[in-house]
Copies of this chain bind each other. A is one copy, B any other.
Amino acid sequence: MSSKKVDLSELSKLYAELGGELKPFEKFSGKIDVGYKVVYEKRITEVDVAFFGLVSGDLNPLHFDEELASRTKFGGRVVHGALTTSLVSAALARLPGIPVALEVYFKYTSPVRIGDVVRVEGVVTEKERENRFKVSVKCLVGERVVAEGYAKVLIW
């Protein structure tokens, strides 16, 4: 299907050249239990919105057309909600072991602008079985909550 080969290190280089923030994939340490905390943050830039738009097929002009977006209640372009909360998946992937997301719930409470640093703060609130945990999560830009909810995660 593809005429060129997908090379993650080549694409990482391009991504960084286009202003993307490359995050090393570093696992968190410690033993997961109720009270365990995770923090993860990443700047969302122009290239993220473009890549996410292509991957999902969500080329909603709210994310790409400043002129149109400026005439909405947002008053300008915003980041896809699902792009913002993709950072939750990245945060949970950093849990010790092999984490698998079973369920997610998110409420989008405030717009995220291109260039904003989104910080994910999570805390394990329930241990449902030996290797299943509920994690409450918030996504913040500065002190402003932009999304909140929870995820259920299985650790292999």
Contacts and interface: CB of A to CB of B under 8 A. Distances in A.
Given A51-B54, A56-B86, A103 B108 contact: yes
Contact of A57 (B42, B53, B82): B42
Nearest to A43: B1
A60 interface: yes
Interface residues of A, number: 62
Given A56-B87, A57-B23, A82-B85, A72 B156 contact: yes
A64 to B, nearest CB: 7
A2 B47 contact: yes
Given A46-B6, A62-B98, A102-B107, A51 B93 contact: no
